[in-house]
Amino acid sequence: MITPHLRLRPLKGGREPTIPLGMLVKPKLNKTLPFARGAGLTLLLLLAGCGDQRNQPECGDVIKSRLDKHDFEILDGGVALHKPTGLTVTQCAVGQRMSNYRCRGESLKMTWDEAMAYAEEVREKTGEPWRLPEKGEMPEFFESQCINPAANPYVFPDLEVANFWTASKGLHQDQFRCSAYTYQGRVFCRQIRSLPQPFLLVKGG
């Protein structure tokens, strides 16, 4: 269980995040990160990956029962157990909190390095092995038969369509890291690491 409102030591630039129940509260971030070039690359990659899934239904139209959790078991504290892998995953993006089956608040957008440091702080303060998921773990949480986002809405309510960080590095240049695009659940590893993006946390497995 993640303890409510734990104080973390300041991040780069003097920011002071806190941890609410189940997830983390959004600190003040520097909005002037240089990501214009990376954003253009991201857009091209995302457009290239959407072509063969345009005719798939949206998950909200396919999964209509709150009882239909597929491979997940909902636990207390805004987390879910993915039974096939043994991974426990936060139902809301970091920065949001679960309330009445909905994710409330805004997701926290961080660079890859900030997100990795944030997860380390969570481990230190909670004593639990929370971390960013690996690139091979993220697709396990997605649905293959639907899109926009490709996730069970009763397991991941209000999941935004965005690139979510993984802990995995790119294969070539050090400036790249792997992220998962929630629209169709695909992972690609040429995401500029300085881009601010949302992320989930996992433990176990």
Cβ(89)–Cβ(79) below 8 Å: yes
User: Can you give the length of the chain in residues?
Assistant: 205
Tell me the pLDDT band of 8, cut-offs 50, 70 and 90: low
> pLDDT averaged over the chain?
83
Per-residue pLDDT, 177: 98
pLDDT (tens digit per residue) in 68-125? 888 999 999 999 999 999 999 999 999 999 999 999 999 999 999 999 999 999 999 9
DSSP 26: P
pTM of the predicted model, to two decimals? 0.76
Judged against a pLDDT cut of 60, whether residue 20 lies above it is answered with no
The first and second tokens of residue 160, run together, are 């935004």
Strand-pair category, 79-82 with 87-90: antiparallel
* CATH, range 51-204: 3.10.100
CA atoms 178, 6, 160, 80: torsion sign: positive
- Would you call 79 helix, strand, or coil by DSSP? strand
pLDDT (tens digit per residue) in 165-178? 999 998 888 999 99
For residues 181 and 50, what is the distance between their CA atoms, to the nearest angstrom?
10
For residues 142 and 78, what is the distance between their CA atoms, to the nearest angstrom?
18
- Would you call 175 helix, strand, or coil by DSSP? coil
Tell me the pLDDT band of 42, cut-offs 50, 70 and 90: very low
